[in-house]
A and B are shown apart, each in its own frame.
Chain A
């Protein structure tokens, strides 16, 4: 690929960095060419995020309806599953699964809640407060 043919499409890096490609210059030597993005790659990433957004929205409705606990919402928002969350909180997996149900979530003591809140990067009050989930607009990341 020639230097001029390197695609410079819209990327998802927010201008923070440019991907690096290797392409031929006029003399036929390989040189480093920064690129802002490549449309198929951007589309693939966006599709992956779309799937995640749909799942988060579905879980959000479940939480607001009272079928799932807030932990389920934040777990989905952080792209985790029960095993990954169990690894981060250092709890057994079966316990994490149990805490996804409101019945068991309401019985949790503060030390366990703190572990979850710390993993999700929020405060314990935010985790307990249903308004956080009502108002939360899911963004990538």
Chain B
């Protein structure tokens, strides 16, 4: 563990949104060159959800992206790529699997929490558990990480990586990791794009839930300001001891 060096030749490109960036970079590694907007489109990445029953930092979650993992799943499915996803209970097991993957030369995407990411600027650190990074190597007990937000390759220690992979709070990532197992030589890009557009049209027009998609945004508008009911406002984050 102490004196090893292992670096996968991985082309890092910064992106505007972490999951798009991670997906685009991972596909790029397997010679499928798709830009970030293209990945966003094929994955039908636009969404709206207002979830008053789910609290993040004490306030209701309002999100304009689908659930983490969705964009990667849709992209790979529509391009006929075989993937593998894992979720763990045991921390050591999670790190061992990651090490094995790196030894095989597979860049591995991880779902992490942002708060304990040491290379992040302090002002951006909130308890937000849906950030995607790609682990691409290991050097002297430190992991080399391609974070789509950062301009270059970053380093993070074993302890910190374990901690961010098992961050707690709203929707804990539970060490989730994903990687590409095999690619098909002939994929139909046109078909994938059409599927992406169709799916998005469906999301816009057919979702019946009052909290999701178009209806969700209408609900959210009515709940802004004084329109919120008490249970939707969220309690104050602190609990006073008497």
A contacts, CB < 8 Å to B = 12-14, 16-22, 30, 45, 49, 55, 59, 67-69, 72, 75-76, 78-82, 84, 87-88, 97, 100-101, 139-141
Contacts and interface: CB of A to CB of B under 8 A. Distances in A.
Main secondary structure of the interface of B (DSSP, over half): loop
Contact-residue size bin, chain B (C-beta under 8 Å from the other chain): 20 to 34
B239 A82 contact: yes
B169 A100 contact: no
Contacts, number: 74
Given A17-B151, A20-B14, A55-B237, 17 more contacts: A12-B123, A14-B123, A16-B121, A16-B150, A17-B149, A18-B151, A45-B123, A45-B124, A79-B126, A79-B127, A79-B237, A81-B237, A82-B239, A97-B239, A97-B241, A141-B121, A141-B125
B241 A72 contact: yes
Contact of B241 (A14, A49, A100): A100
Given A17-B14, A84-B168, A101-B241, A141 B58 contact: no
Contacts of A19: 16
B238 A81 contact: yes
Contacts of B124: 12-13, 45
B16 A22 contact: yes
A109 B3 CA distance: 37
Contacts of A76: 238
B121 A13 contact: yes
19 contacts: A13-B124, A16-B120, A16-B150, A17-B151, A18-B151, A19-B16, A21-B16, A30-B37, A49-B123, A55-B237, A79-B115, A81-B238, A82-B239, A101-B241, A139-B122, A140-B123, A140-B125, A141-B122, A141-B125
A24 B242 CA distance: 58
A96 B27 CA distance: 45
Contacts of A139: 122
A79 B123 contact: no
Interface in B1-56: 14-16, 37
A87 B239 contact: no
Tell which of B16, B57, B125, B237 has the most Cβ of chain A within 10 Å.
Answer: B237
Contacts of A80: 127
Interface in B94-152: 115, 119-127, 149-151
Given A30-B37, A45-B123, A55 B150 contact: no
A17 B150 contact: yes
Contacts of B242: 101
Across the A-B interface, the 7 shortest Cβ-Cβ residue pairs: A141-B122, A87-B168, A12-B123, A100-B241, A20-B16, A101-B241, A140-B122
B178 to A, nearest CB: 23
Contact of A84 (B14, B16, B122, B127): B127
Contacts of B238: 55, 59, 72, 75-76, 81
Contacts of B122: 14, 139-141
B201 to A, nearest CB: 22
Given A17-B14, A49-B123, A88 B168 contact: yes
